[in-house]
Chain A
Amino acid sequence: MPSPEFCLGLRTLYIIPSRFGMVWLATAALLLLVAIQTSSNSTFLIAFLLLGLMFLAMFLTHDNLQGIKLRCGESSPGFAAEPIHYLLVLDSPTPRQRLQLRFQGQLPHQLDHLEAGETRVVLSWTPGQRGWQVPPRLLLDCVAPLGLFICWTRWQPPKPQLIWPARRRGPVQDSSPHRLRDGLDEWNDLRPLRPGERQALVDWAGVAKGRPLQVKLFRDPGDAERMLSPSAGLPWDEALEHLAERIWQLHHRGERYGLKLRGRTLAPASGIRHRDACLALLALA
């Protein structure tokens, strides 16, 4: 579903002289005074040049933002209470100079140069709660090319982002049956060599110590399969946070796990899709 576009134009852009612009203006006034006192043409021209540049900069700074279209991108989900990424798409018909984006109360992100066409910008913000959340208001501003004016706009991105519960270490209910099977990875046992078997399997170290020729036997470590569910006796949200942490860890160890939550069950599996499905279930529970 494409999200609505926000176009930067005369109605949505605000512009005022920056503090540097004021100092610039004061400098021009000082130079004018010196020029009058000394009747120096060059100083007059420099003072007027400063004024001219200031006037021009007003249009150039405004131009730098005008015509940009903002759109929400497809953001991937993230954990609450951690900085997560929100994807914005900037569509500009012409190249732009340096501009700065940030969510209210968050660190700014600087774009040194905006090419013509679509540009994806990843902004970070820290959500407080799980579920579908909308980021704070977006602030887009620029002072280019001379820093004399500051031009800005505000926009509330409409598209919500899925926020998983915050990760917190803690107990979860975990049932994990173990089973063993033959494999090749772990050395397990020895048995006498039968004729025709490969030399690589012979325990040569033992032979050197004077033992008879013996063959090594191997086993694979057991593949654990776990079924996770919230730990009883904890506040609901806290139990979910523990689950989120456990799922994340199990996924990184590459283990197989399932999730049982309020009557919904996800069968044991592994992989990113499975992990995301489990976490989404937690986020919306």
Chain B
Amino acid sequence: MTHIVLLVQCLGLNLSAPLSWPTWVLVICSMLKRRESRRAVDYRLVALLQLLSTGLLAAQMEGLLASGLQLITVILALSGLLAHELGGVVSWAALLRRSLQLLLAALPLALVLFLFVPRVAPLWSTDLGPRGGAVSGLSPEMDPLSIGQLARSDAPAARVTLDEEERLNSNSYWRVLVHEQFDGRSWRHEDPPFPPRSGRGGPLSAGPSQWWRVEPSAIRMVPWDGAAQPVSTDQWISSEGELLMASSPRRPRSYRLQQGLSSVGWQQQQPQPRDRALPLPPDHLPRLQALGRTWRDQPKDVDRLAAAEAWFRSQPFRYSLAPGAFVDLDAFLFDQQVGFCGHYAGALAALMRAADVPSRVVSGYQGGRLVRPLGGSPYLDLRQSDAHAWVEVWLTGQGWKRVDPTRWAGSGQPSDPSIDAVVSAQAGPVPWWRWLQLQWWGLDLAWTRWWLGFDQATQAAWLQALFGEQLRWAGLVAVVLAAIAVGVGLMLSRGGWPGFHRDPLQRSLRLLKRFGVKAMPGESFPALCRRAGGLRPELALEFQAMAEAQQQLDHALLGRRQRQYQRKLWRQSRARLMVSASRSGRSARS
């Protein structure tokens, strides 16, 4: 049973991650061990192996579903451990109850440790994430066609939720990749170098947060709004304004960003020589180069941009996801004049470089759909079909500025913001399975927000908020809380052990004890009730009714309905006896 749950989780593992293989090996080892287990030691070892593999699985899969399955595995492994100690005589329900009880008892201490034990950064840098695996999404090479293919794919890309709901805007641009190298045909992206560890992580601020959950992709860059700051040391911002994440991109990732008080530096980063370079022979793309050069007459770069916009608007450009094949950008700009965001962005950036304005292509997501799930807070659902490309130009005095040439295209569709989001625009009423998925994602995001959001930085902030300057007291408080947690745990595990009875007999016996009637050695329950009836003749019939119902429940062969009926009878007579017991207790006191 436990193994089935474990195997199901293992199937979700990405085999290219270094941790996945030990996990598989552990699960299979414990299955084999379970098969040949005879002694108590073996069974305990199996349970421990199960717990260990659950821990490893938890390190690799963090979503709500995975966490739920992991919780189930822990409970089952614990019941396996307990079952052997109890000699296999207890029913499944009782066993589950008991392991839940034990888990609850251990939870307070575990939570105190979880909250108070200081988190440390990884001791050495290992990439335990997967290296391969099927992904879809943006690629570092922006061939104009690739975005077109993405725009037809309805696969999920990312989900984001904000502290402040009103800032969730389906018009926002979420940047991912910066393509600064142009070879005449496609725009390429160059991986920025890993910064030193000390360079990671921004200053802490108390600004509002964004929580992201991103599907597996081929690249380390993850979407962001270009303004917030990463919280974990796992993430940093490159000089081009890309947000990078150290952990492997081949699995779902979650992260938190915080709105910084200071602005982020990438927008003011001086353009490199390569941002101006248009390394093309003069005979290549001759018409584009010629058009760009005509704008060099304008002294100011703002005017050159305005000229470009005016030119675009003056031409009969049309938007289409299936524009057909082009020979090159010249053909697109001057002959066919039909294309989508990739073409427009690539052409504009090349034109601006020809006009001696530093520019680059940025790809990311734009649009998305605001979802208000029944559970959890509203979030923005980004699909691969929301993929978009735009241009950034360097304007003196303003820094890098976003320009979206797709908006200029096609007078027939003026300023449709999510012009690329064809699929989501076409989608009419949501099918039921999609609706369920959206609801589930809402829960999953809420889980991400509350559970995965507790990281080193949050812990530090939390302790800071709690203790302020008296941070050295935190240790003492933690010790005291741990002691309390152990006390609570012991109370839970002990108090419930013999005392918690659903058994009518034990509960009736407790009630009789309140009347001062205790069983004599070898006395059966009806005999005990008769004796009690002798002591309190006015209640004799009630005692007899309770005994009769209890005996029926214990000994008779009853159907489900009959059992419920007898249980009701028993409850009623017990309740009546309880009333007279408390009444007589009161009168005895007064």
Contacts and interface: CB of A to CB of B under 8 A. Distances in A.
A contacts B directly (C-beta below 8 A): yes
A24 B493 contact: no
Contact of B106 (A34, A52, A113): A52
Interface string B31-54: 000000000110011001001101
Contacts of B108: 52
Q: How large is the interface on B (under 10, 10 to 19, 20 to 34, 35 or more residues)?
A: 35 or more
Given A37-B123, A56-B105, A42 B58 contact: yes
B113 A48 contact: yes
Contact of A53 (B102, B119, B232): B102
B45 A34 contact: no
Q: How large is the interface on A (under 10, 10 to 19, 20 to 34, 35 or more residues)?
A: 35 or more
Contacts of A145: 82, 85, 102
A49 B107 contact: yes
B81 A146 contact: yes
A39 interface: yes
Interface stretch (B175-183, B315-323, B450-458): B450-458
Interface string B280-298: 0000000000000000000
A51 B81 contact: no
The winner among A35, A36, A47 for most chain B CB atoms within 10 A is: A47
Contact of B451 (A20, A31, A41): A41
Given A27-B51, A31-B52, A97-B86, A51 B452 contact: no
B234 A39 contact: yes
A4 interface: no
Given A30-B52, A51-B110, A53-B102, A112 B493 contact: no
Interface string A1-45: 000000000000000000010011001001101111111111111
A11 to B, nearest CB: 21
A119 interface: no
Nearest to A97: B85
B453 to A, nearest CB: 9
Contacts of B85: 97-98, 143-147
Interface in A228-270: none
A52 B109 contact: yes
B113 A147 contact: no
A43 B45 contact: no
A128 to B, nearest CB: 32
B82 A146 contact: yes
B490 interface: yes
A138 interface: no
Interface in B1-44: 19, 40-41, 44
A45 B493 contact: no
Contacts of B122: 36-39
B158 interface: no
Nearest to A42: B58
B498 A34 contact: no
B126 interface: yes
B148 to A, nearest CB: 37
Interface string A105-146: 000000011001000000000000000000000000001111
B21 to A, nearest CB: 14
B59 A38 contact: yes
A56 B106 contact: yes
B48 A94 contact: no
The winner among B48, B117, B498 for most chain A CB atoms within 10 A is: B48
A55 interface: yes
B113 A20 contact: no
A59 interface: yes
A46 interface: yes
Contacts of B123: 33, 36-37
A56 B113 contact: no
B59 A43 contact: yes
A63 interface: yes
A39 B253 CA distance: 12
Contacts of A95: 498
A63 B87 contact: no
Contacts of B232: 39
Contacts of A53: 78, 102, 106
A41 B48 CA distance: 20
Contacts of B19: 34, 38
Contact of B74 (A23, A24, A30, A49): A49
A60 interface: yes
Given A49-B110, A60-B493, A112-B89, A147 B55 contact: no
Nearest to B451: A41
A200 B247 CA distance: 106
A50 interface: yes
B128 interface: yes
A262 B126 CA distance: 89
Contacts of A30: 52
Contacts of B109: 48, 51-52, 55-56
Contact of A52 (B52, B81, B455, B489): B489
B107 A147 contact: no
B55 A55 contact: no
B70 A46 contact: yes
Interface in B71-111: 74, 78, 81-82, 85-87, 89, 102-103, 105-111
Contacts of B128: 37-38
Interface in B464-499: 485-486, 489-490, 493-494, 498
Nearest to B52: A27
A203 to B, nearest CB: 58
A42 B70 contact: yes
A149 to B, nearest CB: 12
A30 B456 CA distance: 20
Nearest to A24: B48
Given A34-B59, A55-B486, A144-B85, A49 B67 contact: no
Given A27-B52, A40-B58, 18 more contacts: A40-B62, A42-B62, A42-B70, A43-B56, A46-B70, A48-B111, A49-B74, A49-B103, A51-B109, A56-B486, A98-B85, A112-B86, A113-B87, A113-B89, A144-B85, A146-B81, A146-B82, A146-B102
21 contacts: A37-B123, A39-B232, A40-B58, A42-B59, A45-B114, A46-B51, A48-B117, A53-B106, A55-B106, A56-B109, A56-B486, A56-B490, A56-B493, A63-B494, A112-B87, A113-B86, A116-B498, A143-B85, A146-B44, A147-B40, A147-B85
What 6 A-B pairs come out closest when comparing CB atoms? Answer: A42-B58, A52-B106, A52-B109, A48-B110, A31-B55, A52-B110
Interface of B: 19, 40-41, 44-45, 48, 51-52, 54-56, 58-60, 62, 67, 70, 74, 78, 81-82, 85-87, 89, 102-103, 105-111, 113-114, 117, 119-120, 122-123, 126, 128, 232, 234, 247, 451-452, 454-456, 485-486, 489-490, 493-494, 498
